[in-house]
Amino acid sequence: MARVYNFSAGPSALPEAVLQRARDELLDWRSTGMSIMEMSHRGKDFVAVAEKSEADLRELLAIPANYKVLFLQGGATGQFAAVPMNLLRGKTKACYVNTGLWSEKAIGEAKLFCSPDIAASSKESGFTIIPSRSDWRIDPDAAYLHYTANETIGGVEFQDIPDSAGLPLVCDMSSNILSRPLDVGRFGLIYAGAQKNMGPAGITVVIVREDLVGQALPGTPSIFDYKKQADNGSMLNTPPTYVWYLLGLVLEWLKEQGGLAAIEARNIRKAEKLYATIDASRYYSNPIEPDCRSRMNVPFRLANADLEKVFLAEARTAGLVNLEGHRSVGGFRASIYNAMPEEGVDALIEFMGEFERKHG
């Protein structure tokens, strides 16, 4: 069987070593005579898997002891609602930075619970920049400041942690968590769907400072109440056990690669060589300002848009798949998350050069 280079934005490629291990353990996990997906989530075997996953995540991200780590369901979309339900704490406003479609979705959901105050927006630029920090307007009476670390569709990424002016800082880190070292202590809450860098779709990680837990809005469903989830070990209901197990395998793989510093160095090399190829060509273009280009999602276009379908077809023949841009923006997008090897990026660059020579 020939594996392709999968540039999907999510669900995304998983490390091949993780898939091979999952295959080997599928029918008989550690001589139990059954698959881990068949086990009780409250049995000692699965509880040990869950506890190790949390311990490995805490180690990789150096998560301080005064933070809760939750493994939930509903994706980032569920957290768009859960964040205001848990963090308003008697206030009626929350600040949001709008840098793309996922920021807008978070803002839209927050409107169900409070008055979102747009601290900054790059909408007028077509979401090709991050607004200058000097232009941010952060209301000191707001409950928190929310931003999206990496806009998967537009290809914009924060390269540092913004100053929240004393408010709890909340971040949707779905598409770049575990791609670089992180100072978790600067955040009030981080949330991330697993399906980019942590594992398959179906589980969401929430890292929340303890003082922000326990003040959910009246009427908050139990499944969205951080305190109830924390008190029940993220098992208020039956969790997605097999996905949780796979997430744990990805965390082990990350440790084997040398941790987040080593992964960041690899991610920088991958992104720099792909952007350099685009910038050196008159045939390809990327619309994002260089100082906020995403290391995870690289959008690009052809000089001749009529050849987009030809590009995709020839790329598939070359073993390069899922390069379509998001339906809302078109063009192309190469998602080069942690699991994408450098060889995959090199293969894409070689193909792009050959395509330009042939059709340019």
Query: What are the pLDDT digits (tens) for 278-333?
Result: 999 999 999 999 999 999 999 999 999 999 999 999 999 999 999 999 888 889 99
Query: Residue 333 pairs with which residues in a beta bridge?
Result: 299
Answer with the residue of higher pLDDT: 138 or 328: 138
Query: Which amino acid, 347?
Result: A
Rounded alpha-carbon distances, angstroms, from residue 295 to 9, 155, 175, 272, 336: 12, 8, 10, 8, 7
pLDDT value at position 127?
Answer: 96
Rounded alpha-carbon distances, angstroms, from residue 45 to 41, 52, 252: 8, 11, 17
pLDDT value at position 330?
Answer: 86
Predicted confidence band of residue 1 (pLDDT cuts 50, 70, 90): low
- Cα angle 114, 118, 123 (rounded to 5 degrees) comes to 130
Structural contact between residues 315 and 275, judged by C-beta atoms closer than 8 angstroms: no
Q: What is the mean pLDDT of residues 149-172?
A: 97
Question: Can you tell me whether residue 220 is helix, strand or coil?
Answer: coil
Q: How far is 210 from 206, CA to CA, in rounded Å?
A: 12
pLDDT value at position 326?
Answer: 87
Q: Count the Cβ atoms, other than its own, within 10 Å of residue 213.
A: 21
Structural domain spans, the chain: 17-256, 259-359
Q: Which residues are catalytic?
A: 102, 172, 196
Output the average pLDDT for the chain. 97
| CATH fold for the domain made of 259-359 | Aspartate Aminotransferase, domain 1 (3.90.1150)
Structural contact between residues 311 and 355, judged by C-beta atoms closer than 8 angstroms: yes
> Residues 198-218: pLDDT tens digits?
999 999 999 999 999 999 999
CATH 3.40.640.10 assigned to domain 17-256? The reply is yes
Answer with the residue of higher pLDDT: 100 or 2: 100
Q: What is the mean pLDDT of residues 76-102?
A: 97
Predicted confidence band of residue 189 (pLDDT cuts 50, 70, 90): very high
Q: What does 141-167 look like in DSSP terms, one character per residue?
A: TSS-EEEESEETTTTEE-SSPPP-TTS
Structural contact between residues 191 and 174, judged by C-beta atoms closer than 8 angstroms: yes
Q: How far is 47 from 242, CA to CA, in rounded Å?
A: 12
Percent of the chain as helix, strand, coil, to the nearest 5: 40, 15, 40
Q: Please report how many Cα atoms fall inside a 13 Å half-sphere around the Cα of residue 251, on the Cβ side.
A: 22
Q: What is the mean pLDDT of residues 132-145?
A: 96
